Amino acid sequence: MDELDETQLKNHVESLKQQLQFNREKTSVAIPELTKWIEEKMNEDPFLNPDILKDNPWVETSKCVII
């Protein structure tokens, strides 16, 4: 903060005032919703559900490729 001039310092203080106003959700609400979202999506995550990668576009299905 020492390198800031007066205008920059004023802007810094204004920004902090705005950031303080942020309407914070309780973690007892935010965390379970986040983890629920993740757990529901895991089934569709190709790195976690091997069935999805049965059709793998980066793996050659046959030895010959027609150019």
User: Which positions touch another protein (CB under 8 A)?
Assistant: 1, 3-4, 6, 9-13, 15-20, 22, 24-35, 37-39, 41-42, 44-48, 52-53, 56-59
Tell the smallest beta-carbon distance from residue 64 to another protein (Å): 14
Q: In the complex with another protein, which residue's Cβ is closer, 44 or 62?
A: 44
Residues 6 or more apart in contact with residue 24 via CB below 8 angstroms: none
Cβ atoms of 49 and 42 within 8 Å: the answer is yes
Distinct helix (H) and strand (E) counts, the chain: 2, 0
Q: In the complex with another protein, which residue's Cβ is closer, 28 or 62?
A: 28
